[in-house]
Amino acid sequence: MVGDYHTHTKYSKFFHGKHTIEQMANAANSIGLKELAITDHGPKHMLFGINKHALQHARITVNAMNDRNKVKVYLGLEANLISKDGDIDMRPADAPYVDFVAVGFHRGTWSKFANIFNVNLCKCKQKDPKQIEINTQAYIRAMQKHSIAFLTHLQEYIRVDVKRVAEVAAACGTYIELNNRHFKFTEQEVKDMLSTNVQFIVNSDAHKASAVGEVSRVLKLIDEYGIPKERIVNWDGKQVYLKPYMQIQK
């Protein structure tokens, strides 16, 4: 594993992340990772969202660490999907501070639409075809409107048609995450994604220093479901490209 590109720090409010950027980077260095990304929560999460001052301070910290640290540290953002039209909570003024943006859906986020939010309040809607179509289109539109490095913990909280999402992700150069904490894909869904040209990224989703680089659970599932290691961009010493954030269309 070259790097871990989904981790949280104390900048995710209310101690959602337990440690500082420095402590997370030291942990990455201690286990031999070459790269680490900090991806605290987007600002519209009601409890854990990072504010603009914290993001600016995090940028300064990351820059200083990269001047002296062995591990290359990126500052990312785990933005929230907030509308069926593919809007995310990436503020234009914050774009210069981040190296890349990952996108996922989270409970407890201020949203522009009720349909996706309500699916978390009524689990019976999880497999409703109409709801799945709304969710699928939301992810597709997000990738078409924004330059997204990877999609975080797909199928967690809301369900989508993974094959269609993977097809668009491949076309957009967006990776699909294989998340150690939230691997929710069925074996058939893995087969559906593998039938496309999408690439994957393995991440810990660490919320504390001791969990940085911890991907043992997801590695077992990768072997069990037959995901080729060559489809994983941060494996076997590969150089990882993380798309820089930009808004593609208004």
Q: Which domain holds residue 162?
A: 3-231
In a domain, 240, yes or no: no
- pLDDT, average across residues 170-198: 97
* 150, two tokens: 């990877």
Give residue 13's pLDDT: 62
* 179, two tokens: 């998340």
In a domain, 236, yes or no: no
- 39 membership: H or E segment, kind and range: strand 35-41
In a domain, 237, yes or no: no
In a domain, 10, yes or no: yes
48 pLDDT band, cuts 50/70/90, is confident
Cβ distance 24 to 209 under 8 Å?
Answer: yes
121 pLDDT band, cuts 50/70/90, is very low
Report if pTM > 0.75: yes
Closest CA to 94 of 249, 241, 245: 245
- Alpha-carbon distance of 202 to 133, in angstroms, equals 26
118 pLDDT band, cuts 50/70/90, is very low
pLDDT surpasses 60 at 242: yes
- Alpha-carbon distance of 102 to 81, in angstroms, equals 10
In a domain, 75, yes or no: yes
Residues 64-82 pLDDT 10s: 999 887 899 999 999 999 9
CATH code for the domain of 16: 3.20.20.140
- Alpha-carbon distance of 138 to 113, in angstroms, equals 11
H helix intervals, the chain:
21-30, 52-66, 114-118, 129-145, 162-172, 187-194, 216-225
Give residue 249's pLDDT: 61
- Alpha-carbon distance of 44 to 2, in angstroms, equals 31
In a domain, 243, yes or no: no
Residues 214-232 pLDDT 10s: 999 999 999 999 999 999 9
237 pLDDT band, cuts 50/70/90, is confident
